[in-house]
Structure 1
Amino acid sequence: MDTFATLLVLCGVMSLALGVPPIWTQPEQIHISYPGSPGSMLITWITLNKTDSVVEYGVWGGKLFELTAKGQAALFEDGGSEKRTMFIHRVLLRELKPGVPYVYHCGSDLGWSDIFYFTALRERVDWSPRFALYGDMGNENPQSLARLQKDTQVRMYDAILHIGDFAYDMDEDNARIGDQFMRQVESIAAYVPYMTCPGNHENTYNFSNYRNRFSMPGNTESMWYSWNIGPVHIISFSTEVYFYTNYGLDLLFKQYQWLQKDLEEANRPENRAQRPWIITMGHRPMYCSNADKDDCTEFNSHVRTGLNDTTPPAPGLEDLFYRYGVDLEVWAHEHSYERLWPVYNYTVFNGSLNEPYVNPKAPVHIITGSAGCRERTDPFVPEHRPWSAFRSSDYGYARMQVFNSSHLYLEQVSDDQYGKAIDSMWLVKDKHGPEAWL
């Protein structure tokens, strides 16, 4: 080996020994979200070194990348021992044509992503949006991911609702597990708005990985927000304010006040006429019949009835959601699927004996938290609770379509049974709002 080659080898060995990090300007972990304003979409991605934040895009079938939008990059430092840093880029696309597909890539002159596409959300209220719903999907054992990837590739969904618990956990290995998980879900989240809420597995460092990595509407760092799609008003909130009060009990009261104000606005006659369906998404359920000691197994669960050991006592959410006529409440946390009869205060209010979900007199609850993670699935208590209609410990996820102002369809897909729909329901309502309970 000549002297020059020997020096090159020695330099390489020294770099490895010193742990010199690579220069990383290539975009990764691309995902999109709906920022709440008609005709818009928000593109988010990560680089490990600082670069410009640029999205080049155009209408599908038109001139490629004829439009350009620029944004900003924020430095994020993980709370782990290495204090790893990354740059989180956000670029807002405006004046998109409703229902039109767009092609885009993101990055800078230091590196561009692959080419992705999305369809701008329709602005009308008279269309039928389609959703995938699930929680509790990890980097290890993401059982449902391949099927969700295929669903997304055939354009089955207009939006995806991930109801808490990501990666298991995003902060682990100095946030490298979070990086890997976001790379995994790029195959769906770069094509369809990926709408989220926080779960208990995001709590480390005051939910910092969740708050920084996702870009939801509003100005609450994705902890709670609402948005409109078709005939639906969707409210995402944090159940974790009831359990991690060390991060500030005031957050519980701030969220409750925000929820009340948002529900009041959504129930103004002109707004409820436009978007009659109100659907909430939060991680920990009010009810469940699992064989563990989670909050939902307690009669006076914190999420349902609040906290009595605070000053003042902290209100729960069941009365609030009932008072404002919430139609459907979707949850996760339990690694299983459970469909409840229409229920309020542990009392079943079916529409009728033969058609329980036709004009029910209470909200309907769905738990779908078995997308797949390292903690596997959760068992149930042997006996059915009187308010529990159907339950399964299969891995899987839910699909939902809101057809119009009166008909909503939901089904649970079993990945264990090769994509079979193991449960389904039609929720039919001639009236929405608190008057529907009368």
Structure 2
Amino acid sequence: YVPDNAISSEDAQCHPEEVHITFGDKVSDVVIMWSTVGNCSSSVEYGPGPWGLAHRAQGETKLFTETNPNGKHYLHRVEVKDLGSSTTYFYRPTSNGVSSGPFYFKTPPSGYDWSPEFLVYGDLGVESDAISALETEALSGKYTSIFHVGDFAYNMEDEGGMQVNDTHKNDTSMDLCENKRGDTFLRLIEDFSSRVQYLTSPGNHEIDQGSFAHYRYRFSTPGTSWPIPLNKMWYSIDIGQVHFVSYSSEVFFTSDGQYIAEQEKWLKADLKQANDNRARCPWVIVLGHRPMYCSNSDGDDCTKADSKVRAGLEDIFFNYGVDIVLQAHEHSYERLWPQYKGVVLSKNYTNPQAPVQLISGAAGSKYKGDNEKARREEWSAFTNTDESLNSVGKLKIMNSTHLYWEQYNLLTKRVIDS
């Protein structure tokens, strides 16, 4: 414990914490976010080496109190635009002259003809046993970005416990902000989310009484204003040869469905444009939290014949030729055969005639695993609950015609499925 008088009050109030980055509107733009206890300025110093960071970008500060009485109240966002390709940049987030870091990140290559690799998972809570192993994997240098497909912290608006992260026992901000769970989570992932672009989708644990407040304020997404508007919790971005689309499965369960039509209209227009651009971006991959189908026995939407998510999205993804649907929510791993409305179109992945659906929602939380049904449907190619806990997906784009997927257990270091 460091007594309050050991550091100046401005240092305590303005020290940047919970640093994380994501892409801006394109992969040559990076958004840097952090929080402070006090109302302080937002700027980033950056450059190609750790010393004498010569460039500076200014940003904005938001007061965040909605469903957040005890957490840090000031959030900061700075966008650094038009960076060089394939370059490692060092940066220091700075508030009122108080900075942290330097942190670093690498920008992707320019153009389309390269092979990005991604980590994909959902359902990561502060109680996960795998965060240290996830950090090691994420910082291996292989990954262009991370996709966290919903359910953060369990829950960001809840109170956290000081015992969760005793590595910060000398951090005076723990006492200043009463250790809110959203703050705890962002501190836990900071070592890798500050260095690898961290892309997100909203899940049911972000609903937050219908406000999605912690998700909308604490994260930033490409092509949207900040805080993320309730009627724009979806986005797309081109990374190499892939057009990624993140959608909200939560429109079907919140706000009396008032955003369903708006998302559908945007999705169809975005996917039409993606199809017109297939020569450059042959892959179209979509991400959303709740699955359309699953083999679990927990009574979730994906287990039901009248699934809301399936009714709202399956035809769109099939008609617009989506290649892969990445999902989470079920605390297990499952890979489906290419199928449409329950009819299997092939038991292989050569030129599939329907989207390939994958579920990777087992990064680890207090809820552990979800059991599977005793009898699975024909469309289920592979499922695993027990060994999938503490696992993540790895997606590598090989070229314009092939990609590689595997589900990897972070603790046993074993590939569960590929």
Report the TM-score when normalising by structure 1. Answer: 0.84
Contact kept, 8 Å, 2:139 with 2:196, in 1: the verdict is no
Measured after TM superposition, the shift of residue 122 of structure 1 is 2.2
Q: Cα RMSD (Å) of the superposition?
A: 2.1
- Aligned residue pairs: how many? 386
Aligned-residue offset at 1:144: 2.6
2:244 matches 1:239: no
Distance 2:114 2:203 in 1: 31
Which secondary structure state, in structure 2, belongs to the residue aligned with residue 259 of structure 1?
helix
Q: Which contiguous aligned blocks of 4+ residues in structure 1 show a shift greater than 6 angstroms?
A: none
Report which of the two structures shows the higher radius of gyration computed on alpha carbons.
1
| Alpha-carbon distance between aligned partners in 1 of 2:96 and 2:18, rounded to the nearest angstrom | 18
1:115 has 2:123 as partner: no
* Contact preservation (8 Å) 1:143, 1:415: no
Report SS of the residue matched to 1:273. Answer: coil
Which residue pairs with 1:70 in the alignment? 58
Deviations 1:300-358 (A, max 9, x none): 210011xxxxxxxxxx11001111000000000000000001111101111xx5xx011
Aligned to 2:340: 344
**What secondary structure does 1:274 align onto?**
coil
Deviation at 1:121, TM superposition (A): 2.2
Q: 1:37 offset after TM fit, Å? A: 2.6
Are positions 1:412 and 2:407 aligned together?
yes
C-alpha deviation, 1:146, in angstroms: 1.7
How many angstroms apart in 1 are the aligned matches of 2:49 and 2:402? 32
Counterpart-to-counterpart distance in 2, 1:23 and 1:38: 34
Residues of 2 paired with 1:143 and 1:112: CA distance?
A: 30
Please tell me whether the aligned partners of residues 75 and 85 of structure 1 are also in contact (alpha carbons under 8 angstroms).
Answer: no
Partner of 2:313: 317
Whether the aligned pair in 2 keeps the contact of 1:341 and 1:364 (CA below 8 Å) is yes
Check 1:194–1:38 CA distance in 2 against 1; reply closer, same or farther (3 A cut).
closer
Alignment of 1:79-158 (within 5 A): 79-80=67-68, 82=69, 86-140=73-127, 142-158=128-144
Does the alignment pair 1:372 with 2:364?
Answer: yes
Are the equivalent residues in 1 in contact too, given 2:291–2:327 (CA < 8 A)? yes
Pairing 1:253–2:261 present: yes
Distance change >3 Å, CA 408–CA 138, structure 1 → 2: same
Trace 1:253-272 onto structure 2 (pairs within 5 A). 253-268=261-276, 271-272=277-278
Separation (CA, whole Å) in 1 of partners of 2:198 and 2:181 = 19
- The gaps in structure 2 that reach 5 residues or longer are 160-177
- Match status 1:211 vs 2:216: yes
Q: Could you tell me which residue of structure 2 aligns to residue 334 of structure 1?
A: 330
Q: For residue 430 of structure 1, what is the aligned residue in structure 2? A: none
TM-aligned CA deviation for residue 149 of structure 1? 0.7
Query: How far does residue 114 in structure 1 lie from its aligned partner after superposition?
Result: 1.9
Distance 1:245-1:235 versus aligned 2 partners, 3 A rule: same
Take 2:416 and 2:371, find their aligned partners in 1: how far apart are those partners? 17
Alpha-carbon offset, residue 65 of structure 1: 0.6
Give the percent of matched residue pairs that are identical in Structure 1 and Structure 2. 41
The correspondence for 1:229, drawn from 209, 233, 239, is 239
Deviation at 1:422, TM superposition (A): 1.2
* Per-residue CA distance 1:208-256 (angstroms, 9 max, x = gap): 000000011122616100001000000001100101134xx32111111
Deviation of 1:280 after TM superposition, in Å, equals 0.4
For residue 286 of structure 1, the aligned residue among 292, 306, 311 is 292
User: Which residue number in structure 2 is paired with residue 388 of structure 1?
Assistant: 380
